[in-house]
């Protein structure tokens, strides 16, 4: 079955630098991959979706890449700010159109 791996260790980044988070999957390449942000005590908030035929997607300071050969997606936050501190989750298409398979998330800490 499909498994997703995200770095379980927190990522500490200095304010202003680029933060890069990794999402690796093990089996088939999904048609879509999504990234979400989750703050403590809150539900996930959708950020970006990238399709399998897209190499890169951007939204303001966010950039997502999708490499089906490496079975990996990278999530970048440029000019990072302390307000970007949160847990970032990746999710990808499961067996049905509406089911997502979720990674455990990586906690990002931006230090001023």
Partner 1 sequence: GAGVSQSPSNKVTEKGKDVELRCDPISGHTALYWYRQRLGQGLEFLIYFQGNSAPDKSGLPSDRFSAERTGESVSTLTIQRTQQEDSAVYLCASSLEGADITDTQYFGPGTRLTVL
Looking at residues 17 to 46 of the shown chain, list those that interact with partner 1 (rule: CB under 8 A): 32, 34, 41-46
| Interface with partner 1 in residues 37-96 (CB under 8 A) | 41-46, 49, 89, 91, 93-94, 96
| Phi/psi of residue 93, nearest 5 degrees | -60, 135
**Residue 83: φ, ψ to 5°:** -65, -15
Q: How many CB atoms lie within 10 A of CB 20?
A: 15
Q: What does the CA dihedral 89, 92, 96, 99 come to, rounded to 10 degrees? A: 0
The contacts of residue 78 (CB under 8 Å, 6+ apart) are 18, 61, 63
* Cβ closest to partner 1, residue 98 vs residue 112: 98
Is 34 or 80 the residue whose CB approaches partner 1 more closely? 34
* Using rule CB under 8 A, residue 99 touches partner 1: yes
Q: How far is the CB of 45 from partner 1 (least distance, A)?
A: 7
Q: Does 98 bind partner 1 (CB under 8 A)?
A: yes
- Give residues in contact with partner 1 (CB under 8 A): 4, 8, 32, 34, 41-46, 49, 89, 91, 93-94, 96-105
């Amino acid at each position: 079955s499909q498994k997703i791996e995200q770095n379980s260790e927190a990522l500490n980044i200095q304010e202003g630098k680029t933060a890069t988070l990794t999402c690796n999957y093990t089996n088939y390449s999904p048609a879509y991959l999504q990234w979400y942000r989750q703050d403590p005590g809150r539900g996930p908030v959708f950020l970006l979706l990238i399709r399998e035929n897209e190499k890169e997607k951007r939204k303001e300071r966010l950039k997502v890449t999708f490499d089906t050969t490496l079975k990996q997606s990278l999530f970048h936050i440029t000019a990072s700010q302390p307000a970007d501190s949160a847990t970032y989750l990746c999710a990808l298409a499961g067996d049905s159109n509406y089911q997502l398979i979720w990674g455990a998330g990586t906690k990002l800490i931006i230090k001023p």
